[in-house]
């Protein structure tokens, strides 16, 4: 199968045909060299991913993942680099002072996708267990498969729901090329359609609250990880009891997504009414702590703008 994939890449196909004329032994050596080169090169693995014809592919590194070949962002990144965004988690763990408390750490992955964060977190011993919350049906299936492939069924519990301010059902819109950009559909008519949201198919998903999930799960140490494509403010509205615990929390901060969902004011209200005192922009190499105020959050929103830029912040 891999040889067939390689032959679809022009420069590999040409080289393969040339070496084949040299004899079977030379051809085998050449193919072995190509495989080794691709195995070491994220760029070449990315090119190989782009030629795949089957629906699913296996990415093997420190962890094993089944990815969809239709996912040109997270799936492609995992296939090419064998992980996705994990360095950001490691930075957050250190900045939150949790790197020596991992033996009893509960990691709560909200918007878990196919497991690129929660699976290595648990498998590498950086948390004792994880709750993986993912509403989209295909991502759920791949998440379950990846948890099983990495022998983590006893340590990662999957919740096939969306999170919001209250329980119910919601329309969930699906990106056809970035499976990390599925989102709860906004009820408001948006003035921008940067990612062709108006053309997206939708499915109905169950919604609950973070408080409801965590009321039956406790741990001495908890790290919250929120990546809900601009819906974070509403997730926090359903987490009043959780916020009182002041668990370190990483959340995506994406003005465009927050504008479309109308969640920014809820984010400000929930954070500023809590006992959290500061945040760190994880894209800031200086890891500067910023006082958590309406003004500082509004300033970050303005600096990123509404053209699609985003960051992740650690709230402490």
Residue range(s) in the chain whose domain bears CATH number 3.40.50.150 = 85-315
For 197-248, write each residue's pLDDT tens digit.
889 999 999 999 999 999 999 889 999 999 999 999 999 999 999 999 999 9
Checking if the pLDDT of 17 tops 80, the result is no
The pLDDT, as a whole number, for residue 39 is: 55
What CA–CA distance (Å, rounded) separates 79 from 76?
Answer: 5
Rounding to the nearest 10 degrees, give the CA dihedral for residues 232, 89, 301, 226.
0
Q: Are 278 and 290 in contact (CB under 8 A)?
A: yes
Task: Report the mean per-residue pLDDT for the chain.
Answer: 89
> Model pTM greater than 0.85?
yes
Average pLDDT over residues 164-183: 96
Of 3.40.50.300, 3.40.50.150, 2.30.110.10, 3.40.30.10, which CATH number belongs to 85-315? 3.40.50.150
Query: Residue 189 in 3-state DSSP?
Result: coil
For 27-64, write each residue's pLDDT tens digit.
555 545 555 555 567 888 999 999 999 999 999 999 99
pLDDT band at 66 (very low <50, low <70, confident <90, very high): very high
| Residue 32 CB neighbours (<10 A) | 10
């Amino acid at each position: 199968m891999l040889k067939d994939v390689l032959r679809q890449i022009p420069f590999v196909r040409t080289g393969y045909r040339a070496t084949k004329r040299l004899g079977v032994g030379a051809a085998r050596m050449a193919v072995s060299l190509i495989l080794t080169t691709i195995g070491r090169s994220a760029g070449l693995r990315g090119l190989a991913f782009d030629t795949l014809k089957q629906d699913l592919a296996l990415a093997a590194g420190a962890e094993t993942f089944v990815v969809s070949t239709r996912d040109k962002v997270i799936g492609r990144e995992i296939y090419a680099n064998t992980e996705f965004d994990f360095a950001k988690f490691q930075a957050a763990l250190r900045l939150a002072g949790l790197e020596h408390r991992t033996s009893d750490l509960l990691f709560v992955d909200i918007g878990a996708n196919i497991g690129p964060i929660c699976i290595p977190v648990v498998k590498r011993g950086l948390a004792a267990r994880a709750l993986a919350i993912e509403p989209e049906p295909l991502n759920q299936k791949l998440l379950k498969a990846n948890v099983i492939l990495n022998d983590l069924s006893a340590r990662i519990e999957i919740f096939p729901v969306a999170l919001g301010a209250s329980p119910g059902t919601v329309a969930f819109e699906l990106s056809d090329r970035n499976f990390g950009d599925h989102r709860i559909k906004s009820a408001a008519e948006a003035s921008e359609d940067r990612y062709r949201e108006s053309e997206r198919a939708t499915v109905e998903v169950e919604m609950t609250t973070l408080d409801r999930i965590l009321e039956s799960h406790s741990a001495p140490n908890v790290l919250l990880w929120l990546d809900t494509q601009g819906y974070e403010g509403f997730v926090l509205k359903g987490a009043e009891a959780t916020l009182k615990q002041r668990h370190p929390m990483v959340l995506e901060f994406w003005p465009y997504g927050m504008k479309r969902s109308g969640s920014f004011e809820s984010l400000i209200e929930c954070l500023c009414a809590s006992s959290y005192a500061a945040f760190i922009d994880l894209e800031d190499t200086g890891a500067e702590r910023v006082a958590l105020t309406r003004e500082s959050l509004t300033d970050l929103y303005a600096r990123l703008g509404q053209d699609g830029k985003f960051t992740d912040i650690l709230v402490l």
